[in-house]
Amino acid sequence: MVAVGGSGKVHDHTAEKVHAHSHDPAVQQIYKGHFEDNQVQDRTLSDWAGDWQSVYPYLKDGTLDPVMAHKAESADQSADEYRAYYEIGYRTNVERIKIDGDTVTFFEGEKPLEARYVSDGYEILTYEKGNRGVRFIFKKSDGDADAPEFIQFSDHKIAPEAADHYHLYWGNDRAALLEEVTNWPTYYPSSLSAKQIVEEMIAH
């Protein structure tokens, strides 16, 4: 299955210097999207447990400007071009997400939406550049009517392991979500300050 965005520009998960604590070459290859199908394992919601903040406000207010400048140093795109790319990628009105057990709470505006989710397997996607990614999918079992039917996590990991940040896709159409590769709201722990998030992003 090939997922291509409407703009033809694909979130290739290598443009983003991802957070690899390990210097093990095999782990680095997985982070870059190179792995075998048989390496992928089911994961539970506990891998994403915690309180998470959107990084979109930090892009909008200029906090992430040093990150964009850093990316431009080693690429053929300018900081402004990176900013435009991430403006589409990070865009979301959901400023915070809390995951506790099987319950996911979305904070958007005044009234949080809450629902319970069960695993609905995973899908392996092949991107335009030839690298791959895994979406870990959860389906709503009960909760607020307006909460999305499906949530899909992508965090550069392919087997059970706690996430340090993640991209989240949500909506009511499982298949359509798999085609979405240009908008990937991104969340870091709420405990991190803006400065710490900048440091994390630049460190990779």
> Rounded mean pLDDT of 33-39?
93
Paired residues of 140 in beta bridges: 117
For a pLDDT cut of 70, what percent of the chain falls above it?
89
Question: Please, which pLDDT band fits residue 23 given cuts at 50, 70 and 90?
Answer: low
Question: Please, which pLDDT band fits residue 8 given cuts at 50, 70 and 90?
Answer: very low
pLDDT at 22: 58
For a pLDDT cut of 90, what percent of the chain falls above it?
77
Is the confidence at residue 73, as pLDDT, over 50?
A: yes
For domain 25-55+93-202, the question of CATH label 1.10.3720.10 is answered with no
> How do the domains of the chain map onto residue ranges?
25-55+93-202
Q: List the single range of 2-11, 35-44, 115-124 with lowest mean pLDDT.
A: 2-11
- CA-wise closest residue to 57 among 24, 21, 23, 96: 96
Kindly report, residue by residue over 110-161, the tens digit of the pLDDT: 889 999 999 999 999 998 888 999 999 999 999 999 999 999 999 999 999 9
CA–CA gap between residue 88 and residue 111 (Å, rounded): 25
Q: Any residues with CB less than 8 A from the CB of 168 and at least 6 apart, and which?
A: 97, 151, 152, 153, 154, 184, 185, 186, 187
Residue 62 gets the label, from left (phi > 0), alpha (psi -120 to 50) or beta, of left
Is the confidence at residue 107, as pLDDT, over 80?
A: yes
> pTM (2 decimals)?
0.87
Is the confidence at residue 198, as pLDDT, over 70?
A: yes
Which comes out higher in pLDDT, residue 39 or 6? Answer: 39
> Rounded mean pLDDT of 81-98?
97
pLDDT at 162: 97
